[in-house]
Amino acid sequence: MKECFISYNVGFAVPRNSIYEDRFNSVIKKLVETGHVAKWITDEMDNAARASQAKKAETSAEPLSLHHLQAPMFFLPMTHLVAMLVFIVEVSSHLRKQSPTVKIMIVGSDSEDATERREPKIRS
């Protein structure tokens, strides 16, 4: 049997001066003295070692290739595009808040084409 580097205490919670306290203590003492507790610990350690070995046997290392990097290489430009769009929206909203709204009024008769005139005509 391998030597255990951590000691384990076994106990049950019972109220003080309970009628079961002496009986529990004697049963626990018998289990420890007969080696049942040590066997249980050894069995669990063996089970853990077997499970660890099984995991190591199942895993196989595979080198990374471009196939593994397809998702990140697609995701990176998409996030850059979203960040650029958010930046443009923020800058335009900031500029819109700073500049006052200018209203253009065209002065003239209704018969003239307003889009062709460059300067408003003032009638006297």
Report the pLDDT value the prediction gives residue 81, as an integer from 0 to 100: 96
Residue listed under structure tokens 């769009």: 85
Looking at the fold, whether 17 and 67 belong to one and the same domain comes out as no
Looking at the fold, whether 4 and 46 belong to one and the same domain comes out as yes
Domain for residue 89, yes or no? yes
Note the pLDDT tens digit of each residue in 66-96.
888 888 889 999 999 999 999 999 999 888 8
Residue listed under structure tokens 């923020």: 90
Domain for residue 123, yes or no? no
Note the pLDDT tens digit of each residue in 10-62.
666 788 888 888 888 888 889 889 999 889 889 988 988 888 887 776 666 77
Domain for residue 67, yes or no? yes
pTM of the prediction? Answer: 0.35
Q: Do the beta carbons of residue 14 and residue 24 sit within 8 Å?
A: yes
Residue 45: name the closest of 76, 11, 4, 75 by CA: 4
Looking at the fold, whether 48 and 22 belong to one and the same domain comes out as yes
Which residues have C-beta within 8 Å of that of residue 108, sequence separation ≥ 6?
Answer: 114, 117, 120, 121
* Longest Cα separation, the chain: 122
Residue type, position 24, single letter: F
Looking at the fold, whether 19 and 66 belong to one and the same domain comes out as no
Looking at the fold, whether 8 and 40 belong to one and the same domain comes out as yes
Looking at the fold, whether 46 and 83 belong to one and the same domain comes out as no
Distance CA 96, CA 79 (A): 26
| Number of domains present in the structure of the chain | 2
Please tell me whether residue 3 adopts helix, strand or coil conformation: coil
